[in-house]
Chains A and B, each alone.
Chain A
Amino acid sequence: DVKVTQSSRYLVKRTGEKVFLECVQDMDHENMFWYRQDPGLGLRLIYFSYDVKMKEKGDIPEGYSVSREKKERFSLILESASTNQTSMYLCASTTAGGAKTQYFGPGTRLLVL
């Protein structure tokens, strides 16, 4: 069965802290994505990666960075967390190519105080 896991379901951090969110998929997928989900705004793409060490900015990359050192793992980094980054973060993966079914992790709900 297809599986995408995220390191934490809930996180509470202080303003200015460096925050790491990790995502692991076991499907040997080439593409991995990080989304932010906010009420009324749906899912907005932060970054995606189409191969190891490759990344592209999405719609809202400011304040975030990513790392993909291994094919199965895609990390989202908040360099200096701010209160406006309080949100639900969703990771997804797909096979290579466009318009593929995205497989989602359960999400990480981050609260920045």
Chain B
Amino acid sequence: AQSVTQPDIHITVSEGASLELRCNYSYGATPYLFWYVQSPGQGLQLLLKYFSGDTLVQGIKGFEAEFKRSQSSFNLRKPSVHWSDAAEYFCAVGAATNNDMRFGAGTRLTVKP
């Protein structure tokens, strides 16, 4: 079965600074990778996903992520963080052959003024 590790529980960045959130997955076949964001008191919203093709994927709100098979990673990036990006971010891995979606423990992002 697949699994996901998000090594950083909490990250603080200054507004306007760049951001990278780490995600490592474990899965024997081709993974289907997702990043979701959860604003306080809300459900999860899809930021972006990778199924195949170009390993650099663009998402909503100016986010992008890069799939690196050799490193089993799918890190999320944003060049300039806004105060409204403060939220919790979840990486998830799914499989084409079943409904099993595995979520990481999440990374909480704090944005300093």
A contact residues vs B (CB 8 Å cutoff): 4, 9, 31, 33, 35, 40-43, 45, 48, 50, 56, 90, 92, 94, 97-102, 104-107
Contact = CB atoms under 8 A, between A and B. Distances in A.
Interface of B: 6, 9, 32, 34, 36, 41-46, 49, 51, 90, 94-101, 103-106
B97 A101 contact: no
20 contacts: A33-B101, A42-B6, A42-B103, A43-B103, A45-B100, A48-B99, A56-B99, A90-B44, A99-B95, A100-B94, A101-B46, A101-B49, A102-B46, A102-B101, A104-B36, A104-B43, A104-B44, A106-B41, A106-B43, A107-B43
Contacts of A106: 41-43
B96 A99 contact: yes
Contacts of B42: 106-107
Contacts of A97: 96
Helix, strand, loop or mixed for chain B's interface? loop
Contacts, number: 62
B104 A42 contact: yes
Contact of A99 (B36, B44, B51, B103): B51
